[in-house]
Amino acid sequence: MKTMVLIELTKSCQKEKIANNFSKGVKNYLSHSEVQKECADKLLQIAQNYRDSIPEGSILEIGCGTGFVTQGLMKQFPKHFLDIIDISDEMLKFCEKNLQISEQQKKLIQFRQRDGETINTDSNSYSAIVSSFTIQWFQDIINSLNRLINTLQHQGLLLIAFPNDKSFPEWKKMCYELNLPFTRNELPNTIELIQKLSIPSHKIYLYEEQVSMKYKNATDFFRSLKMIGAGCNLKQDKLSNWQMKELINHWNHNCYPNKIQATYDVTFLGIQLI
């Protein structure tokens, strides 16, 4: 029993840590989130294909952040009620304040501070659930996605984008060469995720894309993650200050005189019930 309580406390502390980190990153998010913006745009392009096929009803957006996806959903699905949630209250407030919302649209949108992984969906039946760069923070991705899928209506859509476990090969290579722990957070394996989902009859859309970013040096790369809140380390393995300095120097040296590159491998996944 004590072990179970300890696990629950640990999970709760991790959630609070994630929320706090993203709340602190609000003011820097727009200027340091090029990958998130690019992938949000791609997700909205995919969403266009479903405009006429999803049923009437509410659309749930999980992890709105500063509103990259939210603004597009308002434009693409003007007749649907939008239920917009984020675990970070500061992100949610920023999103609501900075969106261009007409008086008519204000009647069709609500903002709630909620954890998408534990949101109460007992009484909800969504026409679509959309999320970009959020589900990788879930502690139990498979069960959480299964529960969300079960809230979809007939022909309802789950549309998500997330960095997968092939992300940051350059960082991983530097750690391997130095025999240091690779301290990137665990990320979903796309095929394993799909195989473990218990999905009713469905149509699936799957696309992966690599997004590479250039940084002046390794310090700038790690700083960019921290500045938007995505540098939250949830692993037990952590580098000492000396090890971190060794990693940064090695990475910089290997790329000199050029900038360093960090590559996101991003999965775009659409599941529509039939």
- pLDDT value at position 11? 64
Q: Which residues have C-beta within 8 Å of that of residue 194, sequence separation ≥ 6? A: 204, 206, 269
CA separation, residue 23 to residues 12, 39, 65 (Å)? 17, 21, 10
- Prior bond of 163 cis (ω within 30°): no
| Residues 17-32, mean pLDDT to the nearest whole number | 83
pLDDT category at 2 given cuts 50, 70, 90 is: very low
- pLDDT value at position 1? 54
Go through the chain and tell me how many residues it has.
274
Question: What number of other Cβ atoms are within 10 A of residue 125's Cβ?
Answer: 14
Q: Which residues of 74-89 are buried (b: 16+ CB within 10 A; e: fewer)?
A: beebeebbbbbbbbbe
Q: How far is CA 53 from the centre of its chain?
A: 25
User: pLDDT tens digits, residue range 122-131?
Assistant: 767 999 999 9
| Residues 215-241, mean pLDDT to the nearest whole number | 87
User: pLDDT tens digits, residue range 145-201?
Assistant: 999 999 999 999 999 999 999 999 999 999 999 999 999 999 999 999 999 998 888
Average model confidence (pLDDT) across the chain: 91
CATH class entry, domain 2-164+186-212+262-273? alpha beta
**Would you list the domain boundaries of the chain?**
2-164+186-212+262-273
| Residues 124-144, mean pLDDT to the nearest whole number | 95
